[in-house]
Amino acid sequence: TGSSVDVQRLAGCSFGVTAPEELRLAAEALVIEMGGEPEWIAEESRPLYHAALALGANHLVTLVAESMELLAKAGVTAPDRMLGPLLGAALDNALRSG
């Protein structure tokens, strides 16, 4: 799960915040203290928000693992070195282009 490095890796990340109105400022302050940017998510949108993030992260992990395995089976000695730059560029393009 988490490590001490994870907070640093998430600096500048947008965090979804859902809280009762009286706790909203405290919740947003916590996100800012961690170096993030709070994004208010309405309570009724939480399932959609969660599904979007889980879908993106979980499928990405599955795709990377499968790609690395196929490259290793093809005899590539360092699949991560081959795949990393390609996936980084593809992800960057997808995030910029939609």
pLDDT in tens, 42-68: 999 999 999 999 999 999 999 999 999
Q: Is residue 37 domain-shared with residue 7, that is, in the same domain?
A: yes
Q: How far is CA 11 from CA 1, 35, 62, 69, 78, in A?
A: 17, 5, 25, 31, 29
State the average pLDDT for the chain. Answer: 93
Q: Is residue 33 domain-shared with residue 48, that is, in the same domain?
A: no
Q: Domain span at residue 83?
A: 44-98
> Over pLDDT 90: what percentage of the chain?
85
Q: Is residue 72 domain-shared with residue 33, that is, in the same domain?
A: no
Q: Is residue 8 domain-shared with residue 49, that is, in the same domain?
A: no
pLDDT category at 1 given cuts 50, 70, 90 is low
Q: Is residue 65 domain-shared with residue 31, that is, in the same domain?
A: no
Q: Is residue 37 domain-shared with residue 48, that is, in the same domain?
A: no
Q: Is residue 31 domain-shared with residue 9, that is, in the same domain?
A: yes
